Amino acid sequence: MTGGYMAPRIALVTPASLRRQNGDSLRPLRQALGLWANNYRNFVVYTPEPAPDLPFDQRLVRVTGPARIIHPFDTSEYCIVHAHQNAGLFLDGRIWMDVHGLATLESRLAWRRFPWSLRALLFMGFSQWAVSRQLSRAERVICASVSIEANLRHEYPHVRRTDVIRNCVDPDQWDRLPGELPVVAVIGGFTSRWGRAAFKMALRVAELTPGVSFKFIGAVSASQQGDTSSISGISLTGEVGDEAYIDALSECSVILLPYPAWCSGGGCRQKLMQAAAMRLAI
């Protein structure tokens, strides 16, 4: 409170765990840390897995299914509910929607790649329904890039007010230069739908380039770990935190970002900026 004024109470809602270092958790985490660093305290983060080491208030929320549907909770104490992705699907109150990627576009591309897949068809149908419902209720839409905003307005010409808040990196974190060894970094995680496809593509590149070392950075499954056993020059870091991620990249000289044709990005922009900040060849 300053001069008798109480800042409005805000809820940040995400279907992602703040413990995991991935694109879904990065944006809400950075927003919360930004509010905290600027002495804004009147907010709560709702997440399926609170992280006790973080300084701000967190509350547990239940998430169901592969679409990570958040169970409704009482939002009456909040002036604004800032919902990430489909987190505000069944929530009441003033909803601001934070869009990291357009699910309708991604699901349609996946269905075109796998036209006989019932899962791909159901995912496309659910995405169309969910995004339409979200946009009809959100009084403001925050897009993570200009391209996301352009795709959103192309798909939904009558969408309400949109703003672009770009992902960014702190250059002070990325001041280490790569070594001289020709080590190729491949950034995951590799257990998601697009991550599994990217892993197979990168593995094929590694098979075709003997003598070049590859460092796969990010979570892998047990079966993926077994797939690398017959290929020399591959190292796996597993899931890593921020500092270990920077250390791993600092040992590489090239970054390989393989994406299947039906994937519309999968966090590519953030990885491109991080690679550029470290002067890696891309």
Q: Computed from CA positions of residues 259, 262, 267, 270, in that sequence, does the dihedral angle turn out positive or negative? A: positive
Phi first, then psi, for residue 44 (nearest 5°) are: -135, 140
Instruction: Tell me how far apart the alpha carbons of residues 187 and 216 are, in angstroms, rounded to a whole number.
Output: 6
Give yes or no for a cis peptide into 195 (omega within 30° of 0): no
Output DSSP code: residue 72.
Answer: P
Phi first, then psi, for residue 240 (nearest 5°) are: -130, 155
Give the three-state DSSP class for 95.
strand
Q: Supply the pTM of this predicted model.
A: 0.67
What pLDDT sits at residue 85?
81
What pLDDT sits at residue 171?
67
Give the 3-state DSSP-derived string for 3-62, with helices as H, strands as E and coil as C: CCECCCCEEEECCCCCCCCCHHHHHHHHHHHHHHHCCCCCEEEEECCCCCCCCCCEEECC
Q: Where are the alpha helices (DSSP H) in 114-251?
A: 118-137, 146-155, 193-208, 222-227, 242-250
Give the 3-state DSSP-derived string for 144-180, with helices as H, strands as E and coil as C: CCHHHHHHHHHHCCCCCCEEECCCCCCHHHHCCCCCC
- In total, the chain counts a number of residues equal to 282
Nearest to 235, CA basis, from 218, 254, 222: 218
Output DSSP code: residue 215.
Answer: E
Q: How far is CA 147 from CA 23, 62, 102, 107, in A?
A: 17, 31, 10, 17
Instruction: Tell me how far apart the alpha carbons of residues 9 and 48 are, in angstroms, rounded to a whole number.
Output: 20
Neighbouring C-beta atoms of residue 120, cutoff 10 Å: 20
Q: Which residues of the chain are modeled with pLDDT < 50? A: 1-2
Output DSSP code: residue 281.
Answer: B
The answer to whether 55 and 18 are in contact (CB under 8 A) is no
What pLDDT sits at residue 55?
92
